């Protein structure tokens, strides 16, 4: 199983990933307004493994998945997509196929 997991420092933009990490910050949720005026949920949490740290984000229904996580939990997340974030960093986004499994 660990063979299909990607270490955080190996994540590259546009790739699809599965990671195992610990939640470092309490997940945060906010409402974001789209160009069309629609208000949608965005949740994000900061996680790390033994190689690095990264933001995991989810829009709409995926935002609810992130909200079930708590600080200090070890989680496995499948179906992540990597995109360019702010200040040149990479963020991981949940997709319709994402699943979060708690390991502890």
What would the DSSP string read from start to end of 54-71? EEEEEETHHHHHHHT--T
Considering the entire predicted model, what is its pTM?
0.92
Band (1; pLDDT cuts 50, 70, 90): very low
**Nearest by Cα to 74 from 53, 96, 103:** 103
For the chain, domain boundaries: 2-102
* Cα-only R_g, the chain: 13
Mean pLDDT of the chain: 95
* H/E stretch holding 83: strand 74-84
Q: What average pLDDT score do residues 53-80 get? A: 97
**Nearest by Cα to 71 from 20, 24, 5:** 24
Q: Note the CATH number of domain 2-102.
A: 2.40.50.140
Cα(38)–Cα(17) distance, integer angstroms: 29
pLDDT higher than 90, residue 20: yes
pLDDT at 3: 61
pLDDT higher than 50, residue 11: yes
């Amino acid at each position: 199983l660990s063979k299909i997991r990607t270490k955080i420092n190996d994540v590259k933009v546009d790739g699809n990933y599965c990671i195992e990490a610990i939640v470092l910050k309490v997940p945060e949720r906010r409402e974001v307004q789209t160009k069309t005026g629609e208000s949608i949920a965005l949740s994000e949490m900061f996680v790390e493994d033994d190689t690095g740290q990264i933001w995991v984000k989810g829009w709409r229904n995926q935002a609810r998945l992130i909200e079930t996580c708590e600080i200090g939990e070890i989680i496995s997340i499948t179906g992540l997509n990597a995109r360019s974030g702010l200040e040149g960093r990479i963020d991981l986004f949940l997709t319709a196929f994402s699943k979060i499994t708690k390991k502890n």
